[in-house]
Amino acid sequence: MGRHHRRSAGGDYRSGDAVHLLHCQRHCLWFHFLDSDQAVVGTLARAEFRAGDPVDPVRDQAGLVQRMSVPFDPASYDRQLEEKTVRLRELLAPFDAPEPQVFDSPREHYRLRAEFRLWREDQKRYYAMFAPGDNRTPILLEGLPIASERINALMPVLRERWEASPTLNHKLFQVDFLTTLAGDAMITMCYHRPLDAEWQAAAEQLAAELNVSLIGRSKGQKLIIGQDYVTEKLDVAGRTFSYRQPEGAFTQPNGTVNGKMLNWAFDALGERQDDLLELYCGNGNFTLPLATRVRKVLATEISKTSVNAALSNLDDNGVDNVTLVRLSAEELTEALNEVRPFRRLHGVDLKSYDFGSVFVDPPRAGMDPDTCELTRRFERILYISCNPETLAANIAQLHDTHRVERCALFDQFPYTHHMESGVLLVRR
């Protein structure tokens, strides 16, 4: 993921400097981050704020959330969710889809990850976010109601510690938080300077005080205090799965809704006696529970970080019927069509698989035409989408051979126009 920034001569952000927020792209970002809806909080300013209305550089938690694309207002949550439901229903209506199941979100403290640029004023640094079109006027934060309770508890304490420590403070420009429902927390502190033994000693003391893992980053440097991942635990159909979530890799931001998605997908796939092909498997989020429903799984993912996390997660959970290969969906399509061989498939006998189902969780652009055509071969297509418009376009391409048997809306991103959805397509 790229961090794009402009620095003052001293290397810090100052009032008046143009500051570009971290920009992520999913299946690239979180990180693959961004599809804008899957942005970290630093990018939420780009994805979820209305342009205009300059904001005074003050500690303005309320001001920040009121500039979300759908203002933060827990009292209006049910109405906002109904509007999303209507939108999904209308998009799927041409395909005679059944009424979608709707899975809501906690009204606040639902985001498990957040990234903040820091704004320097009066020789102090503050957590800051910016509205799109105005990257000179910061909104200074002391907390964020959409972020997890653990993040909100850590934010002021961490700020106190860096303000009290010249070693931790010097040329610090960004702070990232990653937490889990299971209670883990990791903080990444990003610097415009090399990190030395003095920094490491101060960071070790800080990590112990806060009971977190801590990562220090500067150009070409990564220092790890504790682990460079957090561990999440999610229950699916009565079984608890453990997930390593590495720093810098894509993870679902709303843990509660992610658990609901996993249970829906587990139920929708059903108990099968054949095999499953999974495209875009990430860190194995869906792979682990779905593997328990089939004979064996062939899973693909292009990100090295995600592949390594998925392999660790398979091993940690004792799931031994999955073969994971680092291929893009397009490359796997070529392999299955015998267009060309791939060294990364050495030892994998594609003809030994009896694929009855395919599971896809593509980026916002949806499946490319060739991959969409590939899925037509399967009796059942289980599709999780972060963009209902591209989902509808893919269903239109498949509608002559497959019907929508089940559909669902998962409110991963409250108070925004973004939504996660799922469909089960079954061959006619």
Q: Of 24, 190, 386, 407, which one is the catalytic site residue?
A: 386
Rounded to 5 degrees, φ, ψ at 261 are: -65, -45
Where exactly does CATH 3.40.50.150 map onto the chain?
82-106+248-427
Tell me the CB-side half-sphere exposure of residue 166, using CA atoms within 13 A: 0
373 is known to lie in a ligand binding site? no
The class (CATH top level) of 36-69+111-227 is mainly beta
The alpha carbons of the chain give a radius of gyration, in whole angstroms, of 22
Q: Is the peptide bond before 391 cis (omega within 30 degrees of 0)?
A: no
The model carries a pTM of: 0.84
Residue numbers of the chain with a pLDDT score lower than 70:
1-70, 132
pLDDT for 26: 26
- 77-109 residue pLDDT tens: 999 999 999 999 999 999 999 999 999 999 999
Count of CB atoms situated within 10 Å of the CB of 406: 17
280 is known to lie in a ligand binding site? yes
User: Beta partners for 325?
Assistant: 300
Q: Is 184 left (phi over 0), alpha (psi -120 to 50) or beta?
A: beta
Residue type, 272: R
Query: CATH second-level architecture of 82-106+248-427?
Result: 3-Layer(aba) Sandwich (3.40)
Active site residue 420: yes
pLDDT for 52: 34
Q: Of 48, 115, 247, 420, which one is the catalytic site residue?
A: 420
Write down the residue that tokens 């031994």 correspond to.
Answer: 320
Count of CB atoms situated within 10 Å of the CB of 8: 13
- Nearest C-alpha neighbor of 397 from the set 356, 366, 355, 354: 366
Running DSSP on this structure, what letter comes out for residue 70? Answer: S
Cα separation, 89 vs 100, in Å, equals 7
Tokens of 329: 């969906």
pLDDT for 69: 54
Q: Which helix (H) or strand (E) is 422 found in, with range? A: strand 420-427
Active site residue 247: no
Where exactly does CATH 2.40.50.1070 map onto the chain?
36-69+111-227
